[in-house]
Chains A and B, each alone.
Chain A
Amino acid sequence: MNTAQDYKKLLSKELLSKLSHHSRSPFNGLLGFSELLLINQHKLDQEDATEYILRVNMLAKRAFLFSENVIFLMKILSENVSPVLTNVLLKGAIDYATNICKEEIILKKILFTKEINSSSAINADPLLLNSIFANLLSKAVKLADDESPITITESKEKNVSSIAITYKGMHIENETVLDFFSRKNNSSDELFAPENDIELWITFQLVKIQDLTLTISTLKDKSTRFKIESKN
C-alpha cells in the first residue's frame, strides 16, 4: 500500500504547481470568452464572434487533452498502464490529433499538411497512440510561429515505420529534454522529471511502454521535428 511519503515523492511540489497552472489556463480562457460572448453578443461582428467561438472550442479541447493527460499521468505514476497492442491505422490516430488541434491551427493560420497513406499501420495501442499524436501535434501547434508550416509525413525504411511532425517556431528549450530523448539506452528517469514538460513526459512514457521510439531534433532549416518510429 502506498504511503503518504510515496505520494509525496511522486507528486512533487513543482509537479503539482505545473498541474495547477495547466489545469487553470484553459478554464480561465473558457470562462472569460464565454462571458465575453454572453455580454457582447449583440455588439460583436460576425468575424469576431467566429474567432471567439473558435477560441472557446480550442480551449475546451485543451482542457480535454489536459484531463486525459492527468489520467495518464496518474496511471503511469502508479504503474497502471497496460497497452493492448494491435495493428493500428496511422490515419485514425493522426485524424484524432488533428481534430484536437483543428481550431488552433485555424486561429494561427498554420499551413498544415498531412501526407499519410490511408492503409499505413503500426503495432500499437490505439488509445495510447491517439494520445501520443495529440500531445505532439498540440505541442507543435503551440510552439509554431503564426502562418508557418506544420507537416505530418510518414516513411518506411526496411522494417521501420516513421511518422514525423515538423514545425517552425520555438524550439523545445530545455536541453535536458533533448538530451533525454536522444539517449538510446536511457537508464535514469531522474534526468527528466514530469514537471519539466508534462505533455512530453507522458508522451515519452507512452512511447516507451509500446516499444516505440521518439526523437526530437532541430533540422538544418531550424524547424523542429518530432519523430515516432516503430519496428514492424
Chain B
Amino acid sequence: MSKTNSIQTLIVEDDVSSLILLKEFLKDFTYVNVIGEAKSIKEAEDLVKKNNAVDLLFLDIDLHGVNALDIVKHLTPKTKILFITAHPEFAVKAFEYNTIDYIIKPISFDRLKSALTRISGIESSSEKIEKESTGRFGISNMILMNINGELKFIKIKDISHIEAKGNYTTINMVDNTSFSTYGLIKVWEDKLPVEDFFRIHRSTIVNLNNIAKIEKGTYDTGVLYLNGIKEPFEISRNYFSQMKGKFKLTGNI
C-alpha cells in the first residue's frame, strides 16, 4: 500500500509519555500515517479544523481537565475515531460518534492492534511480512536473527526444538543454547521445512532429525525424547494422529 493509500491519522493526547508510546507502537502499522498531533484543547481544535477530513483520529478525552469530546463536531463523517483514555465513564457517549473503538489506558500493543484491525486494510508490518512470504526455508539454510541486540546467522539444521511462551518463542539449539524472540510459533511453523520439522503440541515444534525416541502416552498422546534432553515432550493427541498419518506409522508403539 502506498503512502497515498495510507490511513491519514491525527493524535490528540495531552500526556507526552502516552503520545510517544502511541507513536512508537504505531510504527509497526506502516499504513497508519500520523500527519499531526495536539497536546491541548486549543491545539486540538486548530488541528482538527485544518484536517477535518482525516481518516482516523486518536482522541484522549480529558485534556488537562478539559473535556475534548466537543472537537469531534468539527470532523466530517468520514473520520473514524479511536478513543484512548483513562476515563471509562465516557464510553457510552463516545459511541454516539463515528467511533471504531474505545481503549482504556494503559495502552497495550495487542489491544491497539485489535482496534486497528477494525479498519479494513490495516495490517501490522510483521503480519504483512508473514503473509507476503510464502516460501519456506530449507534445512541447509541459515537465517539472520536478532539475538540480544546482535544480528547472528543461525543454521536451520542446528535448531533442536521451538517452544511458544505467550507472544514469545524460544529457539532451542542442538548445542543446548537458546534464545527468545517476539512472535508466534505459527510463524515458525509456516517457515520451517516440513520434511524436517513437525509440530507436536500447540506450544512445541521439534526437529525430526533430533528425535531420540517416541513412546506411547496416555489417551492417544505420544511421549517424545530429543537427543541430549532428559525431559520428554508431550505429543498431543491431534498432532500425534497427524504424525502417524504423515509418516505412515503403522502398528503399535
Contacts and interface: CB of A to CB of B under 8 A. Distances in A.
Asked if A and B are interacting partners, one says: yes
Given A21-B86, A42-B146, A28 B20 contact: no
Contact of A32 (B107, B146, B147): B107
Most B CB within 10 A of own CB, among A24, A28, A40, A59: A28
Contact of A42 (B18, B62, B182): B182
Given A24-B86, A40-B24, A42-B182, A32 B18 contact: yes
Contact of B149 (A21, A27, A42, A58): A42
A58 B17 CA distance: 10
B105 A39 contact: no
Interface string A27-59: 111011101100111110000100010010011
A148 to B, nearest CB: 15
Given A33-B17, A36-B24, A21 B182 contact: no
Contacts of B148: 42
B130 interface: no
B15 A36 contact: no
A82 interface: no
Q: How large, as a class, is the contact surface on chain A?
A: 20 to 34
Majority SS of interface residues in chain B?
A: mixed
A25 interface: yes
Contacts of B25: 36
A27 B15 CA distance: 13
A207 B184 CA distance: 56
Contact of A29 (B15, B146, B181, B182): B15
Interface string A46-79: 0010001001001100000000000000000000
Contacts of B229: none
A29 B21 contact: yes
A59 B18 CA distance: 11
Nearest to A46: B149
B196 to A, nearest CB: 26
Contact of B106 (A28, A39, A55): A28
A213 B148 CA distance: 53
Contacts of B181: 42
Most B CB within 10 A of own CB, among A27, A29, A59: A29
Majority SS of interface residues in chain A?
A: helix
B108 A32 contact: yes
A59 B167 CA distance: 26
Interface in A138-181: none
B21 A24 contact: no
B104 to A, nearest CB: 9
Contacts of B20: 55
A44 to B, nearest CB: 9
A55 B24 contact: no
Contact of B21 (A21, A25, A36): A36
Nearest to B150: A42
Interface in B11-50: 15, 17-18, 20-21, 24-25
B15 A25 contact: yes
Given A21-B86, A36-B24, A42-B181, A29 B18 contact: yes
A32 B106 contact: yes
B95 interface: no
A55 B86 contact: no
B17 A59 contact: yes
Contacts of B21: 29, 32-33, 36
B120 to A, nearest CB: 25
Contacts of B17: 29, 32-33, 55, 58-59
A55 B86 CA distance: 19
26 contacts: A21-B62, A21-B86, A24-B105, A28-B18, A28-B86, A28-B105, A28-B107, A29-B15, A29-B17, A29-B18, A29-B21, A32-B17, A32-B21, A32-B105, A33-B17, A35-B108, A39-B167, A39-B182, A40-B24, A40-B182, A42-B146, A42-B147, A42-B148, A42-B181, A55-B17, A59-B17
Interface of B: 15, 17-18, 20-21, 24-25, 62, 86, 105-109, 146-149, 167, 181-182
6 nearest interchain CB pairs? A31-B106, A42-B146, A29-B17, A28-B105, A28-B106, A32-B21
Given A24-B105, A25-B86, 7 more contacts: A21-B62, A27-B106, A28-B105, A33-B21, A35-B109, A36-B109, A39-B182
